[in-house]
Structures are given as C-alpha cells and as structure tokens.
Structure 1
Amino acid sequence: MNTPVPFPIGTPGQPWGAAEVAQWRAMHPVRRRHAEDVLPRVEALRSRFEVSEYGMLDYAPDRYPLHAVGSRGWDENLPVALVTGGVHGYETSGVHGALQFLERHAPQYAGRINLLVVPCVSPWAYERIQRWNPAAIDPNRSFRKPSPAAESAALMRLVAPLAGRFLLHIDLHETTDSDEGEFRPALAARDGKPFEPGTIPDGFYLVDDSDNPQPAFQRAIINAVEKVTHIAPADPDGTIIGSPVISRGVIEYALRPLGLCAGITGARYTTTTEVYPDSPRASPAQCNDAQVAAVCAALDFALSQPGASARSA
C-alpha cells in the first residue's frame, strides 16, 4: 500500500491560512498569456459579433479584462444560450473550444437564438494553468451569493438581467491527470483533510443537473461527440469520478447547491462537458473539436424542441 506524499504547503490536518495561500500563489508563475492567446481572437470577432467587457479582475500587479461575445442583431423575442469556458483556467480546450465555436459555427445560429459566449471566465488561472484564483478559491464552487470568487461574481452579474430567458447553458471543462496528481491533493491540504486517491476517466463525459435531469439532451451530445473522441467508460463500480453513471458517459451533480457554473441560469437545458486531454488517443485539436461538437449538438437539440424558438417565460 502506497503512503500518500504530504502536500508541500501547510500542516497536515490544519486548513490553510493567509500565509499558506501566499506560499501556494508564489509557486505558480505565469506560463502563458491571456493577452496573447485569447484577447486577439476575441478582438477579431468584433466585426461579426457584439463584444463587451463585463468586468475587470484586479490582481495586482496584473489586471484582466473579462469579455463576453454576443449575437449581433440581438432579438428580444428569442431565447438565449450561454456558453462558458475557462471557469477552471487550466482546462485549455474549454477556452479554445468556445473561441473555435464562435469563429467557425456560431453564425449558423443567427436569427434562431441569441448567443452569449464567455470564452475565459478565469484568466489569472488560465495564465498559470491552475484551477483556483489567486486566493486559492475554486470559481466552480463559488457561483452563489455572496460569491467568494470575483470571477464567479462577475459572471453572475452579467447573466442576471437575462434571468428567465435562458434556454440552454453549456459549460466547457476538462478532467486531466493533474486533477489527481496536483489539484485534489492541493484541495485536501487547503482544507486540512486527508487526501483520498481517486481515478481519472479515460474519455469524454457530461455532468447533468440532478435537480433538472435532461437525459435525451445529454444523449444527443454524447452521440455527437463520440464521432470526434471516445466516451469515458464507467469504472468497475459503475461510477465516473465517484458518481453513479446515469447513462453512457453521463453523471449528475446538484448544480446550484454545489455552486457550479452550469447552475447559474436556470435554463431548461444545462450540461458540463468534461474532455480528457491527457489520453494518447486525443490531440489538443481533437479536444477543441469535441467541445465544439458538444456546443453544436446542445444547440441543435434545444432548438428542435417544441416552443424553443420563442422567448422563455
């Protein structure tokens, strides 16, 4: 039996304080640039979409503008679809998949639904290839009021005026080998809890909302994505990341009680994608393509349902 190696920050069994958070933050320098990778592609979309700055993250000495890309010719009589990426900044295909969808596929939905796309919710974490923000807070457990994460609070302010109009929200994520090797051990250390090893699913899967399950919607996405990349099988105990598999490649979480991004709109159709970029069977381009396939399949399914073309009540 292997004995877990203690996390290099903090004292086992004791939650972190400010000193440990500062030590953790100092361990993670900039490894890529939001201003080089993301912002130029957002700016290039201005000729075809409405690009707005919905907030600014002030993490001295750095400041990060937060951008949303919306349909040009917004129609108040149509429902809204929200696409979010980069809630966890290290999950690269969420960011680049959202941008690729805008660049190549979004125009085909003009006049059918209002699109609102936020490609990179957490640019500080994107630059450092990290899960948390600088305060060692997970934005994807912070979509609640009051939110402890500035990234989450800003996105909630953006969508609040559109309450009741969302037909769809798809939140683009990855599950990586670093989840087990770095991020889950860090979480246990931060909270002063023992680290309990888990498994990383080999393939793509979805997280449905246990309070509003939409099995046909999830199946439609899985069927589209399996043309691009492989679907994660269940572990021998019938679970994926410890949650029971409801149908092939689908598990459920209680989105809103957990403070997850996919729960913020109250949309009829919600899902969280999980791409596996560390598979020898998946390239970065394939991961981006899988995210795009998921977005398009989600939109196509939602728009095919009775009453979907009208504004939600």
Structure 2
Amino acid sequence: MTTQPYPIGTPGQPWTMQEKQQWLAMQSLKRSYFDDVVDIIDSLKDEFNVEQYGELNYAANDYPLFALKTRDWQDDKPVVLVTGGVHGYETSGVHGALRFLQTRAKDYERSFNIVVAPCISPWGYETINRWNPAAVDPNRSFVPDSPAPEAKAIMKYVADLGLEPLVHIDLHETTDTDNSEFRPALAARDGVTHDNWNIPDGFYLACNSESPEPAFQQAILEEVAEVTHIAPADSQQQLIGVPLVIDGVIGLPVRKLGLCIGFTQAAYTSTTEVYPDSDKTDAKECVDAQVAAVTGGLDYLLNR
C-alpha cells in the first residue's frame, strides 16, 4: 500500500526552506515537557545526580536537557546508558525511562553506573513529532557534525563522561501514525515515494546487525513477555520489512543509519519498539514493557 500525497510540497521535489517553514507553522504544542517530564526529574533529585547537559533554543521556547546518574558512581563499574524520547512523540519511551528511575534503577546501582536521558527531544514531545523544528529526524542524526542539536548534545555529554558504556538501551514506539503521518511526511520532504510498512502488533527489538548479541536480545524479550505480547513476524518472516535475527528481533546497520544506539561502542545495545495502538495493550502496560526491557537486559548481564 502506497501513502497518499502529503499536503505540503510538490510530489517528486524535495522540500526547500519554504516548505519546511510551512510544515513548522502547522505544528502546535499539545502537552508540556515541563509538567510531564521535568517535574518528575525534579522529584528524583534526592535519589540521583541530575545534570543539565544542554539546552535547545527553539523560537520562543527554551528546553533544558537533563540526564540522571546513580549516586554510587565508581569508575571500575560498567556503565549503562538508557535513552528515551529521541523521537519525542513516542510517549512510553519517555515515561518508561522515568519509570525505570522511579522504580528499578536503584536496584542495579551496586553493579552498574547508570545514566538515563529520559527525553532527548522535548520539542518533539510537546508537539507529538518525530522531527525537530528543522524537519530533521534526531534518530537519523547520531553522526559526526550532526544536523540535530538533540543528538549533538547527548553525544557530547556521553563523550565528556570519559567512560565507554557497556550497555545502551534506547526506548521507542512504533505507532499507527508512522503510516498516517510520518512516512508520508518523510517521502514529501525528500521528494521520493515510500510504501507503508506493516506495523507489528506487539513489542519487538532492533539491534545492531554488526553485533546482534542474540542472547541479550532474547533475555529482554523474555522479561517483556511477562508484561505484554511480542510481535509475530509477518508472512515474509520480517518486521517492518526487515528480516529477523531471532523471533521478535530485527538487525539494522545502526551506525550507517545514524541511530542512537550506534553512537557509542557499547557491546550490548538494543532499541525497543512498543505498539501502543494495539487493542491488546494500554498505556501503562507499554510503559511497564519499557522498564522490563531495561531490567531484562541488566539481569542477563548480572547472571552471566
């Protein structure tokens, strides 16, 4: 199935600055990063070290960027990086990262140094967008000289820590709006044609195809399966058009694509994908699944 023409631009012609400004003018604030995210971060200041690692200055809005670190930091412990909200519209990624901090992170601080950046794209969170205001996808921008300040800021912060993460889990969703809005917008922006993909009904993972660590991915899926259902493969034994590494897991060239889990040399990496539009789940279960993904991965490493 092919997407319908997007209401901005001319089919077959990439957007100029004029079309990007037209797209930006259509966006509006729909929820509050400060009420939904920053207030929770503030409530955790007695339990974690809260560090502002940057600020995004977009039109009339300034968005401070925060990371939280476990207090019992020791240089000889492995570092775990958890990121959420790279795509700001993916709600359970943001709130899953926060819920992990609220409920489970301290259970692991004796064994790991944990860093959580719960909302990398706060403008995208507020406007329910995949892109930033310049029509740039942060999760294709984890590259040198990144065009996305969201990606640039977190990459610099992690580099400045001076420690290479052992683990990086990036929390995402795949939603019906991927087909109804975001893929049509992408095709229009780039002046190309995109076919809709079959959105998997359930939770799945995307790993680094160059270093898939299938046992690590399987441990995550087993923990998540206690919370919500795992997405079955389609008739081609694929998910979103990509062959399976194992059931419930696809592999992607993450560095080539500029994906978040590719910007460090972490040995154990995974991108979660929750399907919140399924009639088999709800918002709380999606958040709980994100927490289970992180704990499943950490438990695997502790039990090796």
TM-score, reference length from structure 1 = 0.95
Per-residue CA shift, 1:215-242, capped at 9, x if unaligned?
0000000111011111111110111000
Aligned pair count? Answer: 304
1:296 aligns to 2:295 (yes or no): yes
User: Contact between 2:202 and 2:232, CA under 8 Å: does it hold in 1?
Assistant: yes
Q: Aligned letter for 1:227? A: E
C-alpha displacement of 1:4? 4.4
CA contact (8 A) 2:4 2:184 kept: no
- 1:101 is aligned to 100
Contact 1:269-1:302 at 8 Å conserved across structures: no
One-letter amino acid of the counterpart of residue 225, structure 2: E
Q: Is the partner of 2:254 in helix, strand or coil?
A: coil
Residue number in structure 2 paired with 1:30: 29
In 1, the alpha carbon distance for the partners of 2:86 and 2:27 equals 18
1:154 Cα deviation from its structure 2 partner: 0.2
Q: What secondary structure is seen at the aligned counterpart in 2 of 1:173?
A: strand
Q: What's the offset of the Cα at 1:263?
A: 1.0
Q: Is the 8 A contact 1:93 1:284 kept in 2?
A: yes
Q: Does 1:257 align with 2:256?
A: yes
Q: Where do 1:47-66 residues align within 5 Å?
A: 47-66=46-65
Structure 1's consecutive aligned runs of 4 or more residues displaced over 6 angstroms after TM superposition are none
Q: Are the aligned partners of 1:189 and 1:195 in contact in 2 as well (CA < 8 Å)?
A: no
Alpha-carbon distance in structure 2 between the residues aligned to 1:233 and 1:163? 40
- Please give the alpha-carbon distance, in whole angstroms, between the structure 1 residues aligned to 2:98 and 2:197: 32
1:120 aligned partner: 119
Q: What's the TM-score once normalised by structure 2's chain length?
A: 0.98
Whether contact under 8 Å (2:219, 2:297) holds in the other structure is yes
CA distance in 1, matches of 2:4, 2:100: 41
Aligned ranges 1:65-76 → 2 under 5 Å: 65-76=64-75
For residue 105 of structure 1, what is the amino acid of its counterpart?
R
Structure 1 partner of 2:234: 235
> Which digits, 9 at most, give the CA deviation of each residue in 1:182-239, with x for residues without a partner?
1000000000001312211100000111111100000000111011111111110111
Check 1:3–1:187 CA distance in 2 against 1; reply closer, same or farther (3 A cut): closer
Q: Name whichever of 87-96 and 161-170 sits farther off.
A: 161-170
Contact 2:2 2:195 survives alignment (8 Å): no
Structure 1: gaps of 5 or more residues: 306-313
Q: Are the structure 2 counterparts of residues 3 and 159 from structure 1 closer, same or farther at C-alpha, using a change threshold of 3 Å?
A: closer
1:308 maps to none
Residue 303 of structure 1, CA deviation:
2.7
Output the CA distance in 1 between the equivalents of 2:248 and 2:186.
25
Unaligned 5+ runs, structure 2 = none
1:144-293 equivalent positions in 2, closer than 5 A: 144-162=143-161, 165-293=164-292
**Deviation sequence 1:258-287 (CA, Å, 0-9, x none):** 110011121110000000000011100000
What amino acid is the match of 1:220?
A: A
Write the distance in 1 (CA, Å) between the matches of 2:117 and 2:167. 14
Aligned partner letter, 1:293: A
Q: Aligned-pair distance for 1:117? A: 0.1
SS of the residue corresponding to residue 151 of structure 2 reads helix
CA contact (8 A) 1:163 1:265 kept: no
Kindly tell me: are residues 4 and 172 of structure 1, through their superposed partners in 2, closer, same or farther at Cα, counting changes over 3 Å? Answer: closer
- Structure 1 contact 168–302 (Cα < 8 Å) conserved: no
